[in-house]
Amino acid sequence: MSKEAPHASPLVATAYDRMVAAGEVEDDPAQRALIARFDVLNARLATRRLAKKSSSLGWLFGRRDHAQNDIRGLYVHGEVGRGKTMLMDLFFASAVSERKRRAHFNDFMADVHARVFRVREAIKNGTVKGDDPIPIVAREIADETELLCFDEFTVTDIADAMILGRLFTQLFARGVIMVATSNVAPDDLYRGGLNRDRFLPFIALLKERVEVVRLGSRTDYRQEKTNRLRVYLTPLGPEADAAMDEAWARLTDGAAGEATTLSVLGRDVTVPRAARGVARFDFADLCARPLGASDYLAIAHAFETVLIDRIPAMDAARRNEAKRFITLIDALYDGHVKLVVSAAAEPDLLYRAESGTEAFEFARTASRLTEMRSQEYSNLAHHGFIAET
């Protein structure tokens, strides 16, 4: 049985009230229930902070109050467009912790791998003692951060899967609190992944250290926004560019977005702009670079909505780009990813070659692009999956 929440001002609820009053969001009972949990967690963090300040000897000798170290975080999952990220951002802005970090989970893991590499090199050089970099990296992160908030918690890379249990055993023991949003329940993380049996202890640890909450709002708010948008913009030009900017603003609630990376089979795939489950690319980012099916599958898994700017008309001279585009659309379509694009022409006129394999295969791509504009496709739930390796 959980302990009664300490008294504190409902900071997250107050921020939500302001948004409702301003007409920025619709008042939603399921969201209210989650907000109450966020405010309880914030109150517990405030109590821990006060206890640390009042216990100078405990701080001096490095003692940790066991009760305060038992604070559980939150793992919020549910279907797309229910407001998970928005509510976590309200909590993060209100959180009383002075040492807090909000990150896309892929960015956090990229940082972890960089730290592990650096410590391994230091161990080899003899400048750091020991033979295991994980405790050292965990200590660094715990010294920097008390509260870790992750957006889009998902595990697709075996290197991440193998490190998570050991890393978070150390982080939780050092009092780090995790809050995360995800499209899947903990038991479905890394489902179908290579050597998943070695990942299962992390799932057990996670469920022990966080309260798992399903956000079951009655409305897919992002789908409502998508339904009001033109999702296939042609021809190219200033009007299409402006419409793409408007689509981004609506789908992300005005977030600026930032670059992130996805780790795919030991390689980094750059996402130029991402926010709240939405990614934005230029056509050249995706199809003029040597990316393959595994890269596109990772994008389809990580993001519920993808915006692609300036898809050109292609001919036989651009067959490599056309081949990549075919593979990209297949991955997005199979993942039920919502797609918003600006293009030089309607789908059946995007590839202008009369012979070759690409000409035949592009007919399927044009058909899928047309279907992805439909209300029926928009109503499909995002299908996260693990690429076969």
* Domain identity same for 38 and 152: yes
Q: Which of 194, 214, 234 is the last residue of a domain?
A: 214
CA angle 348, 372, 321 (to 5 degrees): 50
d(CA 92, CA 94): 5
| Domain extent for 320 | 221-378
CATH of the domain at 167: 3.40.50.300
Per-residue pLDDT tens digits for 229-278: 789 999 999 999 999 999 999 888 888 889 998 888 778 899 999 988 89
Q: Which of 196, 214, 232 is the last residue of a domain?
A: 214
Q: The tokens of 247 are what?
A: 């689509």
Q: How many helices (H) and strands (E) does the chain have?
A: 15, 11
* Domain identity same for 369 and 241: yes
Per-residue pLDDT tens digits for 107-143: 788 889 889 999 999 999 988 888 899 999 999 999 9
Pairing mode of beta strands 267-275, 258-264: antiparallel
Q: Does residue 5 fall inside a structural domain?
A: no
Query: Before 235, cis peptide (omega within 30)?
Result: yes
Count CA within 13 A, CB hemisphere, residue 204: 7
Q: Does residue 3 fall inside a structural domain?
A: no
Q: Which of 181, 214, 247 is the last residue of a domain?
A: 214
Element (H, E) at 73: strand 73-77
Q: Does residue 384 fall inside a structural domain?
A: no
Tell me which amino acid residue 233 is: L
The answer to whether 77 and 214 have CB atoms below 8 angstroms apart is yes
Per-residue pLDDT tens digits for 176-206: 999 999 878 899 888 888 888 999 999 999 9
d(CA 69, CA 176): 8
Kindly give, in sequence order, each residue whose CB lies less than 8 Å from that of residue 70, ignoring residues fewer than 6 positions away: none
Number of neighbouring beta carbons within 10 Å of residue 14: 13
* Domain identity same for 209 and 234: no
Pairing mode of beta strands 278-282, 267-275: antiparallel
* Domain identity same for 259 and 126: no
The answer to whether 163 and 112 have CB atoms below 8 angstroms apart is yes
Q: Does residue 40 fall inside a structural domain?
A: yes
Question: What are the φ and ψ backbone dihedral angles of 374, each rounded to 5 degrees?
Answer: -85, 160
Tell me which amino acid residue 330 is: D
* Domain identity same for 372 and 274: yes
Residue scoring higher pLDDT (97 or 360): 97
Q: How does DSSP classify residue 136?
A: H
Q: Does residue 53 fall inside a structural domain?
A: yes
* Domain identity same for 84 and 111: yes
* Domain identity same for 135 and 79: yes
Residue 294's pLDDT is what? Answer: 85
Q: Is the pTM of this model over 0.75?
A: no
Number of domains the chain is built from: 2
Cβ-in-10-Å burial (0-12, 13-18, 19+) of 130 comes to exposed
Determine the average pLDDT of the residues in 54-70: 51
